[in-house]
Amino acid sequence: MPEALAGASFESQTGRLAVELRDFLESLPRRLKRGQQEQAARQCERIVKALPAPKPEVNWSGAWARVQTSLEDLKRALDSKAAKSYVLARYDEATRAYEQWLAARRAGSRTGETAAVRLGSLKPLIFARTTFHIASGVVAMAAYQFVLNRFQAEAILLTLLVSFAALEISRRLSPRWNHFLAGKLFHGIVRPREYYKVNSSTLYVLGLAILTPVFSRPAVLVGVLILAFADPAAAWLGKRWGKTKLYHSKSLVGSSAFVVAGSLVACAYLFGFCPELSVGNRLLAAGLASLVGAVAELFSGPRLDDNLAIPIASTLVAAIFV
C-alpha cells in the first residue's frame, strides 16, 4: 500500500474513533458522579481495543501514541475501582493527550485542517466553570453600571489584560508553572485545551478592552450579560438534549437556548436600567444581539474563541439600538 494511502487510512480510522473518544471523555466526570464507573470502564476498554496502532510515517502519530497510553492508564484506573481522585487524575492526562493530538493533527494532517476541526476540542460540563462564568459577568455588569466610569473601566481592563498576558507568556516558558496554574490552581475551571492554549478569560478581557472605549455602556453590558448567561445555557441544554445538530457539535436546542436566555437577560437589564430608551429599541437590541451572539457561538471554534466572538458580535448589534 502506498505511503499516502496508508496515512490517509490511518487518519480516517483515528478521525472516526475520535468522535466516540471525545464524547466519552466529555461525559466521564458526569458518569462518575452518577456511579456509572463500570459502564464507563467497559466503553473505555472498547475504545482502547479499537485504537489503530500509530504509523511512524504520519507526523502526528507520536501524539496519537500518547492518547493510547493515557487511555490505557485510564482504563486500568476504572477497572481497579480506584479512588475517584486517582481516576480523575488519569482522566486529566487523557484529556490533555487528546488535545495535544488534536492540535498536532490540525497542524500536520495530510487531509487538511477541516476534518480535524470537525472533531472539536473537549468541552465537558463543569459546574464550577459555569458558576465562575456567570459570576464574572454579573460582577462586570455591576461594577460598570454602578461604580466605574468608562475611563476607570478601561484602565482596569488594560491592567488585567497585561497581567493575563504576562501569565500566558510565563506559563509557555515554564511547563512546571503552567501545570501549577492550569493543572492545580485553576484546575476546577480550566478546560483541557486551555492547558496548552490561551485561556478564555484572557480573550474575554481582550474583547472588553476593545469594546469599552468605543461603544456605549448599555451596548457593552448587553454583550457581557449575553455571554455570561446564554453561553452556559447553550452548553448545558445542548449537551443534554441537543439531538439535531446544526454545525459540527452545536445543536438546535443549544442555539435556541442561547437566544432565549440571552434575550431574557438582556431585556431584564435594558428594561431595568435604561428607561430612556424606547421599548422597541430595547426589545430589538436584546433579541437581535442574542440572535447574532448565537450565530457567533455556533461558528466559533479553534480559530476564534466564543468568549471573544460572542461579546463582540452581541455588542456590535446592540450598539445599533442603544
The whole-number pLDDT of residue 140 equals 96
Residue that is last in its domain, among 101, 119, 137: 119
Q: How many CB atoms lie within 10 A of CB 278?
A: 11
The whole-number pLDDT of residue 8 equals 47
Answer yes or no: do 65 and 115 share one domain.
yes
pLDDT tens, residue by residue, 124-166: 778 888 999 999 999 999 999 999 999 999 999 999 999 999 9
Domain that holds residue 86: 3-119
Answer yes or no: do 185 and 99 share one domain.
no
Answer yes or no: do 62 and 148 share one domain.
no
Residue 300 and residue 309 in contact, taking contact as beta carbons nearer than 8 Å:
yes
Between 237 and 61, the more confident residue is: 237
- Here the cell at position 293 is 451572539
Please determine, for residue 218, whether its predicted confidence score (pLDDT) is greater than 70: yes
The whole-number pLDDT of residue 302 equals 67
Residue that is last in its domain, among 94, 119, 144: 119
Please determine, for residue 114, whether its predicted confidence score (pLDDT) is greater than 70: no
Residue that is last in its domain, among 65, 85, 119: 119
Range from 159-163, 168-172, 196-200, 275-279 carrying the lowest mean pLDDT: 196-200
Helix axes 200-211, 306-321, angle to 10 degrees: 20
Answer yes or no: do 210 and 143 share one domain.
yes
Amino acid at 222: V
- C-alpha 131/C-alpha 146 separation (Å) is 22
Please determine, for residue 110, whether its predicted confidence score (pLDDT) is greater than 70: no
In the structure, what pLDDT confidence band is assigned to residue 123 with cuts at 50, 70 and 90? confident
- C-alpha 227/C-alpha 231 separation (Å) is 5
Between 38 and 212, the more confident residue is: 212
Answer yes or no: do 112 and 138 share one domain.
no
Answer yes or no: do 131 and 112 share one domain.
no
Q: How many CB atoms lie within 10 A of CB 66?
A: 18
Answer yes or no: do 9 and 155 share one domain.
no
Q: Can you say how many angstroms the Cα of residue 224 is from the centroid of all Cα atoms in its chain?
A: 17
3-class DSSP assignment, residue 245: strand
Answer yes or no: do 245 and 277 share one domain.
yes
Helix axes 252-273, 231-241, angle to 10 degrees: 150
Answer yes or no: do 97 and 135 share one domain.
no
Please determine, for residue 209, whether its predicted confidence score (pLDDT) is greater than 70: yes
Mean pLDDT of the chain: 88
The whole-number pLDDT of residue 73 equals 93
Answer yes or no: do 55 and 200 share one domain.
no
- Here the cell at position 172 is 509557555
- Here the cell at position 13 is 480510522
DSSP letter (8 states) at residue 247: E
Q: Structurally, how many domains does the chain consist of? A: 2
Q: How many CA atoms lie within 13 A of 171 on its CB side?
A: 19
In the structure, what pLDDT confidence band is assigned to residue 51 with cuts at 50, 70 and 90? confident
pLDDT tens, residue by residue, 255-311: 999 999 999 999 999 999 999 999 999 999 999 999 999 999 988 876 788 999 999
Answer yes or no: do 303 and 162 share one domain.
yes
pLDDT, average across residues 77-106: 87
Answer yes or no: do 220 and 299 share one domain.
yes
Residue 213 and residue 316 in contact, taking contact as beta carbons nearer than 8 Å:
no
The whole-number pLDDT of residue 50 equals 85
pLDDT, average across residues 2-6: 41
In the chain, what percentage of residues exceed pLDDT 90?
55
Q: How many CA atoms lie within 13 A of 303 on its CB side?
A: 9
- C-alpha 49/C-alpha 132 separation (Å) is 38
